Amino acid sequence: MAKDGLNLAVIPGDGTGPEVTVEALKVLKAVAAKEGFTYRTTPFDFGGERYLQTGKVLDDEEVAGLKKFDAILLGALGHPKVKPGILEKGILLKLRFDLDQYINLRPVHLFPGVDTPLKDKGPQHINFDVIRENTEDLYAGTGGILRKGTQQEISTQEMITTRFGAERCIRFAFELARTKKKEGKGKGQLTLVHKTNVLTYCGDTWFRTFNEIGEKDYPDITRDYNHVDACCMWFVKSPEFYDTVVVPNLFGDIITDLAAIIQGGLGVAAGGNVNPDKGGVSMFEPMGGSAPKYTGQNVINPIAAIGALAMLLQQTGIKQGHAKLSKAGDRVEAAIKKTTPKMKSQAAGKMGMGTKEVGDLVCEML
Ligand code: IPM
Ligand code: MN
């Protein structure tokens, strides 16, 4: 953080993205006043609307321009008039890859008063973190189509694992498990999720890397392994078993949606695309999409976006060694936990109050 404060890039994006971003920024303003730090925000209009008007998705210069910020807050991307894939690949995935945000950090914590579809489970049971690798695997985009449109069409898409990519992700996960244990927030357990019984090459690299690093550098952390299909069952049956989970990109995409629904759904689930390296720029986002049908009606739940802000403050604070930011992040998280019990539901249109009122309430609870 520079002398003139936290320097944030804001990408409100499409649909309900701008509405929830406004609430997150409202909370930022309030918490900055309370904790005594200054900040600046610079908005960027990347998204479906700009694409439809100008044909521009996101170019290298624009990505380079984002590198001078301390962090990025993203609302949502996705426009009903834009073909699926263009904005996702052209903006979201491009940012993750070009800014080398190799960690997708997904806290799965059931907040007080939030309904889970899991019978007899409460906040004490649903309280873990998923670390998803964010730059490799089937997302790397290698492969192609031959003889397209003919009966002989052939397409391939390859699962890419590098030792380097698996290792940096696994190390981040072990570190998180250790920190949580030290802070009394976890039992010191890391679960690797893969499919080593079928994916005998990529799975092997992950499995060996996980065990080598764990044995050598993290003997204090218990190692555990789940096949991804079994993990889907266990998340539902015994979520309380999990502490920290590390998983490659595509499996991580899938299990974190499952995790999002058990923590109360897309209204509350937030995530971070983190580049933990010095000088790296991370991006935080609510997990939900742009929800076009709810746009502009003051009915969408901003808790996930406010949660993304809390993560942004916590992670930027940790990375830059700014205790005030970390404290501000914790404060926002605590305020969210005091707000959710006052809401009727976390679903859009059923909260018992509007988007703006939820934002106001979080500010009050700070
Ligand atoms: C997510 C999303 C993205 C992903 C899409 C929008 C490309 O589903 O952040 O989980 O697959 O990673
Ligand atoms: Mn996803």
Q: Could you identify the atom of ligand 1 that is nearest to the CA of residue 89?
A: 7
d(CA 172, CA 352): 39
The rounded distance, in Å, linking the Cα atoms of 306 and 288 is 13
The reply to whether 64 and 162 lie within a common domain is no
pLDDT of residue 3: 62
Query: Per the domain annotation, does 69 fall within a domain?
Result: yes
Token pair for 333: 């998280």
Q: Which ligand is nearest to the CA of 250?
A: 1
C-beta separation of 114 from 268 below 8 A: yes
Quick check: is 111 in a domain?
Answer: no
Total Cβ atoms within 10 A of residue 38: 12
**40 bridge partner residues:** 7
Nearest ligand to the CA atom of 106: 1
> What is the number of domains present in the chain?
2
Do 145 and 206 have their domain in common? yes
Model pLDDT for residues 247-286, shown as the tens digit of each residue: 999 999 999 999 999 999 999 999 999 999 999 999 999 9
Burial of 354 (0-12, 13-18, 19+ CB in 10 A): middle
Residues 70 and 208 in one domain: no
136 and 223 share one domain? yes
The kind and range of the H/E element at 333 are helix 323-339
Ligand 1 site, CB within 6 A = 88, 92-93, 253
The CATH number for 17's domain is 3.40.718.10
156 phi and psi angles, rounded to 5 deg:
-135, 150
Same domain, 350 and 255: no
Distance CA 228, CA 251 (A): 7
Task: Single out the residue in 263, 283, 303 at which a domain terminates.
Answer: 263
Angle between helices 323-339 and 17-35 (to 10 degrees): 120
Q: Are residues 239 and 140 in the same domain?
A: yes
Domain boundary among 229, 263, 297: 263
Say if residue 128 is in the same domain as residue 177: yes
Question: 133 with 228, same domain?
Answer: yes
Co-location of 140 and 257 in the same domain:
yes
Residue whose CA is closest, atom 6 of ligand 1? Answer: 88
Q: Which amino acid residue places its CA nearest to atom 2 of ligand 1?
A: 253
Domain shared by 55 and 191, yes or no? no
- 322 lies in which domain range? 1-106+269-366
- Residue 1 is predicted with a pLDDT of 65
Same domain as 187, residue 67: no
- Using left for φ > 0, alpha for ψ between -120 and 50, and beta otherwise, residue 36 falls in left
The answer to whether residues 41 and 83 belong to one domain is yes
**CA–CA distance, 136 with 126 (Å, rounded to integer):** 28
**Tens digits of pLDDT across the chain (366 residues):** 666 689 999 999 999 999 999 999 999 999 999 999 999 999 999 999 999 999 999 999 999 999 999 999 999 999 999 999 999 999 999 999 999 999 999 999 999 999 999 999 999 999 999 999 999 999 999 999 999 999 999 999 999 999 999 999 999 999 999 999 999 999 999 999 999 999 999 999 999 999 999 999 999 999 999 999 999 999 999 999 999 999 999 999 999 999 999 999 999 999 999 999 999 999 999 999 999 999 999 999 999 999 999 999 999 999 999 999 999 999 999 999 999 999 999 999 999 999 999 999 999 999
